């Protein structure tokens, strides 16, 4: 313990007395009884403390004065419920408990409101049921129409889809990498990878689903381009070909097909969208969007690789959804040409 001189000790005692005297004076002014023999500890704290609020104070200013008085009481260890608020004439203004409860409510954090579940209205449910009924009736009609088509006619239809890879320095040139052909019912007639003799600079795997191992010459399941073209030509001979953007497939296969036997869903006007300033130019739409809209099917999901078999099957279903009207338009066009 460090040495302290007698003079320093006397100064410390004097300072302590002054602090105790000031504390005693403050507590007595506030109406509290103090025991002088117990270091000025409070022995009675239930004295009512009166706070005067000026009559000129606004409601906001009065509320602020009340809050400050309560905070001071809590800070000094007094009971804040014993504070009495009066006006300049000494009349009590309000109940302390009421104001306290209001203050506590404002100080408490606001609870998060539960989100109300939005249940469909009766009218909305009826409208949805009516729409569903229409869809079911339409599907029944389409199914009845399809059942009325002879098997010989169904056998004359096939769907084709090809997947390409990029060649050339920039990978923008397309080369055939996979061919898929399905029948009327979606059964696979041909599905094969094709060997690419040129150097592939872009496999387009995120779209085509084709990888290097699929089109290597060492892959026995990959056909040579010449053999593949010959096989596809044999299958398509005498068939009505259904596809989407068949121009690209024909270019990759280096094949052609009679125009009267081609049903290209990308070039069918009801499936196209109008563009241009006056909407006079027709542009093809994505197969994914058309199949979703007309068949209620989801293909080519975002982030997933495409498969030519699925695309060929989807194209055939899309054609079926419009076949009756489509074929009537073709018959009318043929009859019109004959009259000329």
**Cβ contact 81:74 at 8 Å:** no
pLDDT for position 109: 55
The residue length of the chain stands at 340
- DSSP symbols for 105-163: HHHSPPPPPPPPP-PPPHHHHHHHHHHHHHHHHHHHHHHHHHHHS-HHHHHTEEEEEEE
Contact 175, 167 (CB under 8 A): yes
Nearest to 236 by CA among 221, 265, 266, 256: 256
Q: Where in the chain is the domain with CATH 3.30.420.10?
A: 152-339
The residues pairing with 55 across neighbouring beta strands, listed in sequence order, are none
Please write down the long-range contacts of 86-94, taking CB distance under 8 Å and 24 or more positions apart.
86/50, 86/51, 86/52, 86/53, 87/52, 87/53, 87/54, 87/55, 88/52, 88/54, 88/55, 93/53, 93/62
Instruction: Collapse the DSSP code of 204 into the 3-class scheme (helix H, G, I; strand E, B; otherwise coil) and give the result.
Output: coil
* Alpha-carbon dihedral sign for residues 307, 325, 246, 276: negative
Please tell me whether residue 243 adopts helix, strand or coil conformation. Answer: strand
Look at residue 309 in the predicted model and tell me its pLDDT.
93
> Residue ranges of the chain with pLDDT lower than 50?
1, 39-45, 95-101, 105
Centre a 10 Å sphere on the Cβ of residue 200 and count the other Cβ atoms it contains. Answer: 17
At the topology level of CATH, where does 152-339 sit? Nucleotidyltransferase; domain 5 (3.30.420)
The pLDDT value given to residue 43: 42
% of the chain exceeding 70 in pLDDT: 85
- Residue 288 and residue 193: Cα distance in Å, rounded? 23
Instruction: Give me 337's structure tokens.
Output: 């040409």
Between CA 135 and CA 132 the distance in angstroms is 5
Chain-centre distance for alpha carbon 6: 81
Helices of type H across the chain: 6-29, 59-76, 96-107, 122-148, 151-155, 205-208, 225-236, 246-253, 287-295, 308-339
Query: Looking at residue 20, what is its pLDDT?
Result: 76
Q: For the segment 54-101, what is each residue's pLDDT rounded down to a tens digit?
A: 888 888 888 888 888 888 877 777 777 778 888 887 788 764 444 444
Q: How high is the pLDDT of residue 47? A: 64
Determine the pLDDT at residue 42: 42
Q: Can you give the pLDDT at residue 160?
A: 97
């Amino acid at each position: 313990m460090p040495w302290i001189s007698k003079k320093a000790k006397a100064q410390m005692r004097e300072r302590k007395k002054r602090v105790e005297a000031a504390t005693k004076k403050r507590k007595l002014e506030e109406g509290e009884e103090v025991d002088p023999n117990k270091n000025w500890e409070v022995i009675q704290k239930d004295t009512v403390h009166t706070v005067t609020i000026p009559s000129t104070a606004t409601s906001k200013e009065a509320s602020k004065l009340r809050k400050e008085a309560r905070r001071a009481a809590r800070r000094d260890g007094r009971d804040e419920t014993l504070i009495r608020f009066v006006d300049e004439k000494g009349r009590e203004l309000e109940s302390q408990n009421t104001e306290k409860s209001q203050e506590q409510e404002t100080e408490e954090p606001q609870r998060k409101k539960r989100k109300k579940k939005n249940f469909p209205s009766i009218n909305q449910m009826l409208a949805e049921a009516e729409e569903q009924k229409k869809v079911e009736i339409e599907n029944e009609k389409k199914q009845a129409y399809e059942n009325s088509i002879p098997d010989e006619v169904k056998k004359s239809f096939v769907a084709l889809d090809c997947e390409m890879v990029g060649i050339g320095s920039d990978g923008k040139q397309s080369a055939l990498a996979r061919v898929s052909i399905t029948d009327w019912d979606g059964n696979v007639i041909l599905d094969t990878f094709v060997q690419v003799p040129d150097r592939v600079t872009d496999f387009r795997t995120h779209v085509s689903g084709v990888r290097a191992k699929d089109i290597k010459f060492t892959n026995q399941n990959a056909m040579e381009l010449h053999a593949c073209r010959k096989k596809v030509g044999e299958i398509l001979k005498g068939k009505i070909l259904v596809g989407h953007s068949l121009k690209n497939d024909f270019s990759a296969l280096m094949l052609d097909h009679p125009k009267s036997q081609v049903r290209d869903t990308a070039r069918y006007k009801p499936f196209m969208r109008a563009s241009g300033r006056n909407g006079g130019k027709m542009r093809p739409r994505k197969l994914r969007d058309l199949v979703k809209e007309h068949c209620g099917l989801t293909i080519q999901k975002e982030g997933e690789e495409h498969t030519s078999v699925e695309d060929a099957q989807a194209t055939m279903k899309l054609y079926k959804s419009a076949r009756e009207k489509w074929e009537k338009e073709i018959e009318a066009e043929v009859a019109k040409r004959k009259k000329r």
